[in-house]
Each structure stands twice: as structure tokens, then as C-alpha cells.
Amino acid sequence: MEMYRRLSLAIVALLLVATVQGAESDYRGKVVIITGSSSGLGAALVEEAAAREMKLVLADINPGPSQAFAEAYTKRGGEALVVEVDLADARQRGRVIDRALARFGRVDMLINNAGYAYFANLQQQQLAQAQHLFEVNYWAYIDLAQRAIPALRRQGGAIINVASILGVIPSGPDLHAYAASKHALVGAFRSLHGELDAMGIQVKVVCPGGMKTNIFNAAIGAGKDKYKDMVKDWETPDKVAGEIFASLAKPGVLVFPTTVAHMAERFADQQQP
């Protein structure tokens, strides 16, 4: 009996290894666009994609770190393209998809990740700054998704949008503009799920809690000082990046990849489309 038990366990282990290897090979040679690729979660997502031997299109307003990674990846036998782009400028967004297609002839995955935070109460808020925030955190995601659809639907693909738990629950003080941009993102892509699914395009909206990235230091507005003591308890971006890729094998649109986000999940509307 013990021999049969050990044999069964060995078979299960082999099947698990084969499943993981098969899932990893599914990405090999596929083309992924990652915005905000030079730092934080974006850089961690680049590492995850490279580990899966994907072809990389790295888009960032600060292309230096992405360029350095692309050169190292190319020396290892990978393929990568870096696109310098200000996603707040609608006239520049088209170059991301256009250059990806010109270089690789296809797009299999779009990861909308670029974004920033703006801390200000309603009386202090500058309308122009809030509008700029929405251009980067919301409209760039919609615009790139729309532009990518013709390429994605040819062979099927995925659109992954990095939102926040503040897209499903209220924010703390001084973060209403940021929370509003993330609520808009969650609402839009949950609503678009049916339309895109009918085209063979998978949709994920990722709602992490706080992460140890530069988004806090780079945030605009003095109100961020209220939150500085919380940073030490936040998750690392590499852990979140791994969970994002793992979510592609699971059903549902919303993804809650951090401990804080899992706690907030019970407050969110979980009637997934």
C-alpha cells in the first residue's frame, strides 16, 4: 500500500511540473507591452516577462533603466524594444503600438501599468494637475487598449490593467483624485470585459494594496506625509508581479495580489462578469 501511495505522489508531482513548464512555455516568444517599465512594479513585471522568454516592448517617460535592461536581455538572447513616451500626451500614445507592430508584427499582451499619485484635499487641488493625473492613470489605459485591439484579436491575447484597492474602496485623506482615477479604471474594464472576451481578449484589473515602489516618493502634493509611516508594511513589487502573471490562469477580472488587498476584497463588489 505504501508503494502505491508513493507512486501516486510521484505521478502527481510530475504532472504538476509538466503543467508549470507548459504554462511557462505558453509565453515564450509572445510579445508583451509594459508601460511604466523603468521602475517599481513595471520593472518587476519586465523581469517576470523576461523569465518567460517573452519579446518585450518597454514604454516609459524615463527610458534609461528600461534601455539598460533591454541591452542586457538582448545579450542573453532575448528581444526587446524601448519606447520613450509621455502617456499624458495623446499624440504620443500611438507610437507604442505602432512601433511594437513594426518591430515584432504582433502584440499578445498589453500591461497598462504606468501611473502616479496626487495628494491634495479638495480645496488645495489644482484642476490641471487632476486632469493630468486622469490622462496617465485612466485615459492612457483606455487609449492603448483601443489601439491594441486589432492586433490582440488576431490570435487572442490579454489586457492587464494595474489599478489599486483604492479603485474598489474609498481612499484616505487627500487621495480622492487618485482614487477616482482608479475607480474609473476598475469600472471601465469590468464593463468592457464582455466586449473584449467576445474577441478572445482576456481582461484583468489588478487591485494591489501598498507596494514598496517609488510611486510614494514620486507622488505630488504635501498630503503624502500623512502616509509615510505605512510604507514599511507594504508588499514588494516582485511578489505582486508574480501573482499578476499567475492570475492569467484563473477566472475573473479583478485580481487582489497583496495582503492588504485581500483584506479589502471583502468590501468590494465581487459579482465578477
* Residue 138: active-site member: no
Instruction: Spot the catalytic one: 27, 118, 141, 178.
Output: 178
* Residue 12: C-alpha distances to residues 2, 3, 9, 243, 250 (Å): 15, 14, 5, 23, 20
Q: Are 62 and 82 within 8 A, CB to CB?
A: no
Is the distance from CB of 50 to CB of 56 less than 8 angstroms? yes
Q: Write out 132-146 in H/E/C secondary structure.
A: HHHHHHHHHHHHHHH
Spatial separation of the C-alpha atoms in residues 63 and 86, rounded to whole Å: 11
3-state helix, strand, coil in the chain (%, to 5): 55, 15, 30
Give the catalytic positions in this structure: 178
